[in-house]
Structures are given as C-alpha cells and as structure tokens.
Amino acid sequence: LKEEMRSEKIKLENYKKDLPNPAPQFGEYEGKSLESLQSEISIINAKLQSLEPVNMLALDELEELIERLNGLREKLEILSNERSELLLRIETASTMRQEAFMQAFTEVDKHFREIFANLSDGDGFLQLENPNSPLEGGLTLVAHPKGKNVRRLASMSGGEKSLTALSFLFALQKYKPSPFYALDEVDSFLDGINVERLSKLISNQSSNAQFIVVSHRRPMISASERTIGVAQARGANTQVLGLPNAA
C-alpha cells in the first residue's frame, strides 16, 4: 500500500510539472460532483462540435488581412501628409498671388490718379468690387471730370470714356512698360484741348516705347516724329504718302 501511495505521489508531482505556471485556479469547480463536471464537459464538447468544421486557414487569412490593413494605414498616412502639404502650398500660392495683385493694384491706381489728373484736370481712382477678396471681384474705373459729378465708366460720355480708358492704359504702361503700342483713333471723341494733352503725354512716353497712332486730329499729327498719310486715290486705290511734320 505504501508503495502504491508513493507511486501515486510521483504521478501527482509529474502532473503538476505539466500544469502551466502559474497554475490555473479551479475554485469554481470545488465541491462539484464528478457527474456534474462530466455533464459540463459534455455540454462544452457539444458546443465545440457545433463550431465545426473549423477553418484552419483562418489565422493565416487574419495575418494577411492585418498586414494589408497596416499597409493601407501607411498609404493613408502618406496621402494625408501629401494632402496637407498641397493645401499649404495652395494657401501659400493664394497669399502670394493676392499680395502681388494688391501691389500691382496700388501702383496702377497711383499712376491712374496722376495721369487722369493731367489729361482731364479732374480726379479719378480705381475701385475694387470686393476689397476683402480682390481676386474674386472686378475692377471699376471711377472718374470725376472737372466740373462734373463723379461717374463710373459705364455712365460717361464718349470723350470721358476715352480719357478714362487712356489713363488706365498709360497707368498700366507705366507700371509694366511695353516696347510697342498701337492706338487706333483713340482721340476721335476728344475735344481739341484734350487731344493736345494726349499728344503731349504720348510724346513724353515715346522716349521709353514706340507708339503708332492712327489719327485725323491735327494736334496729334503735329506731335508725331514721323507722319504717314493714307488716302484713297482715283480708281479706289489706296495711296500711302510720307508727310512733313506738323502737316
């Protein structure tokens, strides 16, 4: 009997070695009969059988999905960073564009005021339709010819429109000069005094640019360095003639 007890103790010790460390606690099963435990085991086995067939590749598929998910997360992070960078560039470009526009607007407005005053003895200015967002609105030319009320370009007479438009043209030219200008009868609606003023302005600007002006007005022709006359000869032929200055 002693030998059997010794043998059973050895088996028990071996069983204990096979148990996980720390050993699981079975306090909830203490005091239960063998029949009760066997019944619970049967119930658990039945539940396990109901789960069959078990997909043995599920773990591999799970690993693949996790790997794919991690890859998508990395791509999402890259795209998110690129999006933030693009938005920053767009914002920077928009800011620079607006600053460049406002710088040009301020200079052109300054030149417009000066030139319009010289041409008309009045005053005028440029007005933004949307000062808070200048790139989203238009530009209005506002003029106050001498002895008249303030007007916008649309409500002006032909001569006033010509003076205002020419003032704007020369304001742009002064801000961003061009080497060559062609003007076709821009003085046709102007009275004699304003034609003389315009011809003087063109003469002053001609040192920095070349002007070709089509005109029938004597003050403009007199101010030119070279004069070419175009006339219709007999037989409806066009004749081009070089004319002396101050013709």
pLDDT digits (tens, 9 = 90+) for 205-217: 888 889 999 998 9
Pair of tokens at residue 72: 């998508």
What percentage of the chain exceeds 90 in pLDDT? 36
* Preceding amide of 53 cis, omega within 30: yes
Q: Residue 233: what pLDDT? A: 72
Exposed / middle / buried, residue 155 (Cβ in 10 Å: 0-12, 13-18, 19+) = exposed
| Residue linked to tokens 């079975």 | 26
DSSP output for 53-65: SP-TTHHHHHHHH
Is 187 within 8 Å of 195 (Cβ atoms)? Answer: yes
Measured from the Cβ of residue 153, the count of other Cβ atoms closer than 10 Å reads 15
Find which of 37-46, 69-78, 192-201, 220-229 is predicted with most confidence, using mean pLDDT. Answer: 69-78
DSSP output for 142-195: EEE-TTS--EEGGGS-HHHHHHHHHHHHHHHHHHS--SEEEEESTTTTS-HHHH
Element (H, E) at 139: strand 139-144
Mean pLDDT score, 192-213 = 90
Least confident of 47-61, 99-113, 119-133: 47-61
pLDDT digits (tens, 9 = 90+) for 23-64: 667 677 777 788 888 888 899 888 888 877 777 788 888 899
Q: Residue 115: what pLDDT? A: 93
Note the CATH number of domain 177-247: 3.40.50.300
Pair of tokens at residue 74: 């990395």
Is 119 within 8 Å of 189 (Cβ atoms)? Answer: no
DSSP output for 214-233: E---HHHHHT-SSEEEEEE-
Q: Residue 247: what pLDDT? A: 44
Mean pLDDT score, 147-152 = 70
